[in-house]
A and B are shown apart, each in its own frame.
Chain A
Amino acid sequence: MLRYLIGHLLLITLTAPWIFLAVGQETMVAGLPLWVIYSVAASVVYAIFVAISYGRLWNRAGGQEGVE
């Protein structure tokens, strides 16, 4: 679950358009700024990550005994 938590936090952080801070505003896709397309796409990637994690980790998360 620790790896899931790290991946979850990392992908949420990456939905913010950090990489466009230095790129500028000129690049467009279908008339929209690229950073907007990036943020929506990153959100979709995050959703896919969560959906797959539910499939793979649900049983382990449900039966996991406490760790110290």
Chain B
Amino acid sequence: MTYLAITTEADSPFGAGGIIVVAIYLGLMIAFGLAGRFARKENSLGDFFLGGRSLGFFVLLMTLYATQYSGNTLIGYAGKAYRSGFEVLVSLPFMMAGIGFYLLYAPKLQRLSREGDFITLGDYIQRRYNHRWLTSLIALSGIVALGNFMITNLKAMGEMTAVVAGDYLTPTQGILILVVIILIYETLGGLRSVAWTDVLQGLLLLIGCTIIFTATLSNLGGVSGAADKLHDVRPDFWEPLSTMSCVGWVSSALIISLGFSLYPQAIQRIYAAKSPKVLRRSLQVMVFMPLVTTLLMVTIGVLGNIAHPGLDTQSSGGITMLVLGDYAASHPAAKWVVFVFVAAVIAAIMSTADSILLAIASSATQDFFRPLFKTDDQKKLTLLGKVISTGVMIICVLLATELPQSIWKLIEIKTELLAQTAPALICGLHFKKLRAGPVLAGFLAGTIFTLIFQVGSIVTDNAIPGKPFHIHAGLWGVLLNFALVWIGNCLAARNSNPVKQVSQG
């Protein structure tokens, strides 16, 4: 239990009213699952994993939004902002730049996905390079990275259980209840159900962020009043960043946004869009969403220092709930604000977890089991996908209840691993003569380099730096990756020319 200090009381600190609100919300999730099942057009992988490639503007926007913003946005960023101050505003450019990176590949990838009936990123990689090892390694890297992300979201589910149910449920019981609900609506309707639940979850997230931000500022006397009070307790937040902090800022913005843009679940949504126009318009709106989500939560975290100074790392993780508790205490009639916000946090966690689960299941089915079993039977493959979803969830629940890791550290590893896919995808789309060999070499070198420094940093307690020269190991890995792709391609092109001349002669 890291961030919910106010909730460790006996009984339910959330009260019967709050439990009812959450129960209604969870019931709606199952109803959406059933609706998705009835809307199914055919029993195929494309229908199950991509919602029949028919997501319209609003549903696509909300599912992109709810998937990109996890519980970490509402809880983790605020806690980090409480401790580190305004430098956490780097989360604004990195959330926006993820959308910026899409323009380098999404338009072309979506067109190709229609032509080639792609379900996963692995489908594109296999068709482009025709190299099973490269496809499998990229798919495996995505599954491992998403597995990390899933575990952090399951842990967050457990922690939210303490808020809602107090001593009535243990965190493990809370995880199991939420996981079963996700499995129900996901196996019923696949991406269609997930996207529909994301609409509700995205709206709750948006409303929750706006409510807590408005409530906090009104409690503190507006922007100027809050700034003055904050300056009194944390004048250090006003100091400009150092050169090294600015270098770290740019490094974070680049590597995290690149990783975000390559989320397998986000790529699934590119494939699932109804048309290129729908996808373009959704992404044009998405780029502004950090201003009404991340910015608000960072502000909440920073302002938390006024009423709750001196919290340690563990306790500061719960600053969002502490601030909300302050508001509820001073405005007893507005207790519903707390209910809506907690429901929003649960929504954010569930919407990310269900999308990750679907992405892992689709990749395992399409990139590993389909070539292994050499079958195109859509019914069998869809059933296999559902079985894999359940199996993956069971493994992740076991890991989530056993593995201690900080959310932030895992997220860094996740994005840095995912970013290594960028040269294979982006260069593959824009350079026709690029071959599999250099791409495989670059991918392996970048991934191994990143893992050595990231895992080494954790194991040796930073004796091996996770950020050599204040730049993320993953970003160095991406640069190495791109360099090897470029050099290998130049060498291959040079070696192939004499052969061509001989054959022509």
Contact = CB atoms under 8 A, between A and B. Distances in A.
Contacts of A4: 103-104
Given A18-B246, A40-B295, A68-B433, A33 B103 contact: no
Interface in A3-44: 4-5, 8-9, 12-13, 15-18, 20-21, 23-25, 28, 30-33, 35-36, 39-40, 42-44
Interface residues of B, number: 51
B227 interface: yes
A9 B100 CA distance: 10
Contacts, number: 143
Interface in B253-311: 253-254, 257, 276, 280, 283-284, 287-288, 290-291, 295
Contact of B97 (A23, A28, A46, A67): A46
B238 interface: yes
Contact of B92 (A18, A43, A50, A61): A43
Interface string A38-68: 0110111011001101110111011111111
A21 B247 CA distance: 12
A53 to B, nearest CB: 6
Interface in B469-493: none
A65 B241 contact: no
Nearest to B251: A16
Given A40-B295, A55-B284, A21 B103 contact: no
A24 B260 CA distance: 34
A40 to B, nearest CB: 7
B231 A8 contact: no
Interface in B77-96: 86, 89-90, 92-93, 96
B96 A46 contact: yes
A8 B426 CA distance: 15
Nearest to A49: B100
Given A1-B430, A39-B92, A64-B108, 18 more contacts: A12-B250, A15-B92, A16-B241, A16-B246, A21-B242, A28-B238, A30-B224, A33-B86, A33-B239, A40-B92, A43-B96, A50-B96, A50-B287, A54-B280, A59-B107, A62-B276, A66-B430, A67-B430
10 closest Cβ pairs, A-B complex: A66-B432, A31-B227, A62-B107, A16-B249, A61-B107, A20-B240, A15-B93, A43-B92, A16-B246, A31-B224
